[in-house]
Amino acid sequence: MTTLSVNGRKHAIMLPADVPLLWVLRDHLGLTGTKYGCGIGQCGACTVHVNGEPVRSCTIPVGELDGAAVRTVEGLSPDRSHPVQAAWIAEQVPQCGYCQSGMIMAAVALLQRTPAPTDADIDAAMTNICRCGTYQRVRAAIHRAAKA
């Protein structure tokens, strides 16, 4: 059994220790905002925060997370008011939107570490894949959120 808190709620997870956090969130806790894109840590669609750090949840066995605090896109705000969400709407970033939960979680983590990131900081931190090519607006939205 693994005990962890997700978006402030405690959960006792009765699953084998090797099940990746991604599938625990999606299929067992019903938090489908976190997406599956590759399963090998390449695309970042599954990005969540564990103890404040951005991680690719498809590669983290849940058994390693006993006592951890997990935050997903659903936990950012109850009403899309988190500055990064607001910036994402203002810049009309998403196209298909499938990568955007992970993008947003990566951006929130970047801004926590680096409140006024340069373009180079953004280049280094934002390694998520967007097949729709929204990168230019992702960059603009991060700069906007930094000023908010």
Partner 1 sequence: MSGTIALDRRALLKGGVALGSGLLLAVPLSGPVLAAAGPAAATDLGAFLRIAADDTVTVIVPVVEMGQGAMTALAVVIVDELGADWSRVAVAPPPAGTAYQRPDVTKYQLTSGSWSVRLWYAPLRTAAAAARTMLVAAAAKEWGVDAASCATEAGRVLHRPSGRSIGFGAVAAAAARLPVPEKLVLKAAADLTLIGRSVPRVDVPSKVDGSGVYGIDVTVPGMVHAAIRHAPVYGGGVRSVDRASIAGEPGVLAVVEVPGAVVVVAESFWQAKAAAERLDVAFAPTPHDTAGTDALMAEERRKLDAPQAARFRSVGDAAAAIAGAARVVTADYSVPFIHHATLEPMNCTASVTADGCTLWVPTQCHTTALEAAVRLTGFDESRIRIHATLLGGGFGRRIHTDFIEPAILSSKAVGRPVKLLFTREEDMQHGFHRPAMTARLTASLDAGGGMTGLSMRVVGPSVHEHFWPAFFKDGLDYAAVMGLTTKATSSGLHYRIPAQHVDYIYQPTHVPIGYWRSVGASHNGFFMETFIDEVAHAAGADPYRFRRALLQDSPRGLAVLDKAAELAGWGKPLPPGHARGIAFCENVDSIVAEVAEVSVVEGRLRVHRVAAAIDCGTVINPDTVVMQMQGGIVNALSAVLGEEITVEDGRCVQSNFHDYPVLRLADAPVVDVHILRSDGPIGGVGEAMVPTLAPAVGNAIFAATGQRLRTQPFARDGLTVG
Nearer to ligand FES, 83 or 94 (CB): 94
Q: What are 71's two structure tokens?
A: 């935050």
CB of 128 to partner 1, least distance (A): 7
Smallest gap from Cβ 32 to ligand FES, in A, equals: 13
Backbone angles phi, psi at 97, to 5 degrees: 90, -10
List the one residue from 74, 108, 111, 117 that touches partner 1 (CB under 8 A).
74
Which listed range, 41-49, 63-71, 108-116, lies at the site for partner 1 (CB under 8 A)?
A: 41-49
Which 8-state DSSP code applies to residue 26?
I
For strands 69-71 and 9-13, give the pairing.
unpaired
Edge-to-edge strands, sheet with 53-56: 9-13, 2-6, 69-71, 47-50, 53-56
The nearer residue to ligand FES, 10 or 59, going by C-beta atoms, is: 59
Q: Are strands 53-56 and 69-71 parallel, antiparallel or unpaired?
A: unpaired
Query: Residue 40 in contact with residue 59, Cβ under 8 Å?
Result: yes
Backbone φ and ψ of 5, nearest 5°: -110, 135
Segment 79 to 138, residues that bind partner 1, using CB under 8 A? 79-80, 85, 88-89, 92-101, 104, 122-124, 126-138
Among 31, 45, 60, 62, binds ligand FES (CB under 6 A): 45
Interface residues toward partner 1, by CB under 8 A: 16, 19-20, 23, 26-28, 30-40, 42-43, 45, 72-74, 76-77, 79-80, 85, 88-89, 92-101, 104, 122-124, 126-139
